[in-house]
Structure 1
């Protein structure tokens, strides 16, 4: 049981680290998008929008997993 607790804690810590990374990544992508000149090519804009979308999805997944850990921890 103790080993299982250690694995759960390690997984939760990793998820929290991933969450922080994705939040920072989103801020960076959104900052890049907001600082674009109106003359910027559509490809670069589409690329940034796609990166933002994918990062948001990854962040949602991590946050769902963190909620699962929190629910299990309450039991």
Structure 2
């Protein structure tokens, strides 16, 4: 039925946001016209890739994966 059954999105993740964080996400959803889950998924994957796949810039700067570094979008 599916070419790759592992691509089926069946693993759920829950997060709790405060009112300010939720307002920011909702503003991005309104601006981009995408759905909230898709937007958060794209942001999460982009951040995970940048943390796991170092670029030349991050390697020369010696930046570690600190919490402040990981939290930036």
Q: Identify the TM-score tier after normalising by the shorter chain.
A: 0.3 to 0.5
The higher-RCO structure (CA 8 Å, 6+ apart) is 1
TM-score normalized with structure 1 length:
0.35
TM-score normalized with structure 2 length:
0.35
More helix by share: 1
